[in-house]
Structure formats: structure tokens, C-alpha cells
Amino acid sequence: MIPFLKEEQHQRKLEFSTSLYTQESVVALQKALEQSLNMIVAEQKIVIDVSTLSDRDCLEILNFCLYHTKKQ
Amino acid sequence: MKNKFQQIDGWIKLIVNKEIYSLQTIYSAGYVFMDKAYLYLDMEGDQEIAIWLKPKEKDVDLNILGCQFMEELLNYAHYFSSLEKNAETTKLLLQRALFSAAPSLVHEAEDEEIQALIKELEEEEKKKESKEK
């Protein structure tokens, strides 16, 4: 179980604060997954719809985005 | 006192002040932990950052994992502050090493410095002249 995953109306969403993660890291994620996840870029956060992904995939996404943010 | 370590559903949440630990420090410590844990960062108000950690292996003590992460943070905070403090000395040492290997570089550097000074003086004179007019 992932406590910070937002679940509403059968949708699971991961939120990344734009102060901590770069938008490029999320774009790199889309490319790496070779599938387009719904993504909303708001003023202070990037929200990704991960409804189609397993918990394990979500966990891997976390480290992927952090790695790509650090790399930049 | 506010508890800085919280355990929720197999995760440990650490709260750190961003004035004390820079983002660079947090990313570097996080990078070291990527092999053994999943990490998530979130803003906790304006000043604090929540660091969520979930061990990849089973039967890992979350409190120990949290303490190890805090140690790594301190380690990188010290590394980056020392790097900043010693930057000027490192630059001087590198310059001296380069100049002793190639003495012609000293003359080139001196020439460049003289040219820059001349240019600066010329610009100042132009400004003075334009003001007088």
C-alpha cells in the first residue's frame, strides 16, 4: 500500500511537487514506459494518473523520477 | 515536540527543514538509498520536506533505515558545505599547478588581466566625457 497515493473515483494518482521534481523527469518517465499516462501540470505539482499500473510499478516510478531529477 | 519519524503502512516518513538540508543534499542521500529503498519527496508546508522511505527488502527495521538516511543527509550536508568553503583554495591550487606546468599561461593570464583593466578605464573615460558634454 502506498499511503501518499491519491485514490478518488477508481482513479489512482501520484503527485510530484514541482519544487522537488523536474517536469523533464516525468517526461522521461512517459518515454521509458512507452505508454502515455494522463498527466496534469499544475502550478505547484505534476499529477500522473497511475490507475493502469500496479503498486510495484508505482514504486519504481518514484525512484525513476527522483533519479532523473537528481541527474539534471 | 513534533515527531520527525512516522511509520505508515511499511513506510517511514522523515521531516527535514530545507533551510538546514539543501535539495542537493537530499537528492544525493536519496541516490545512495535507491538500491535499498523506494523514495518519495513531498513538500510539508513552506519550510519542510517530507521524505518517504520504503525498504526493498523485507524485515528491515524502519527506524534504523530512517536513522541511516539521516546520517547520509548529514554526511552530504558536510561534504557540500566543505566543498563551498574550500572552493577558492581549490581554485588557487589548480591554477598554481597549471601555471607551473605551463609558465606561458601566466603571461597570457597577465595580458588578459591588463587588457581587461585598459578596457575598463576606457569605458570609464567615455562615461566621464559623455557626462561633461
Inter-residue long-range contacts of B56-64, CB under 8 Å, 24+ positions, other chains counted: B60/B36, B62/B7, B62/B10, B62/B11, B62/B12, B63/B5, B63/B7, B63/B12
Q: Which pLDDT value is given to residue B2? A: 56
Checking if the pLDDT of B102 tops 80, the result is no
B42 has a chain A CB within 8 A of its CB: yes
- pLDDT in the model for residue B94: 86
Task: Indicate if the pLDDT at residue B1 is higher than 60.
Answer: no
Give the tens place of pLDDT for each residue, A6-43.
Answer: 988 888 999 999 999 998 998 888 888 877 788 888 88
Provide the 10 A C-beta neighbour count for residue B128: 10
Find the residue in A nearest to B55 (Cα): A59
| Residue among B10, B27, B40 whose CB faces A70 most closely | B27
Q: Do B40 and A4 touch (CB under 8 A)?
A: yes
pLDDT, tens digit (0-9, with 9 covering 90-100), for B112-133: 889 999 999 999 999 888 887 7
Asked if residue B31 has pLDDT above 60, the reply is yes
Q: Using CA of residue B53, residue B56, residue B60, residue B65, what is the dihedral sign? A: negative
The residue of chain A with its CA nearest to that of B28 is A70
Nearest chain A residue to B52 by CA distance is: A4
Share of chain B above pLDDT 90, in %: 65
Number of inter-chain CB pairs under 8 A, A vs B? 46
User: pLDDT for B14-25, tens place per residue?
Assistant: 999 999 999 999
Output phi, psi for B65, to 5 deg. Answer: -60, -45
- When CB atoms are compared, the residue of A4, A59, A70 closest to B31 is A70
Give the angle A62-A65-A68 at the CA atoms, nearest 5°.
145
Q: Looking at the partner chain, which of B11, B27, B41 has a beta carbon nearest the beta carbon of A3?
A: B11
Task: Give the up-direction half-sphere exposure of residue B105: CA atoms within 13 A in the CB hemisphere.
Answer: 9
Mean pLDDT of B52-70: 95
Question: What mean pLDDT, rounded, does chain B reach?
Answer: 90
Name chain B contacts of A44, Cβ cutoff 8 Å. 43
pLDDT for residue B108 is more than 70: yes
Instruction: State the nearest Cα–Cα gap between A14 and chain B, in angstroms.
Output: 10
Which residue type sits at B73?
Answer: L
Does the CB of B30 have a partner CB in chain A at under 8 Å? yes
What is the predicted pLDDT for the residue at B20? 94
pLDDT class for B3, splitting at 50, 70, 90? low
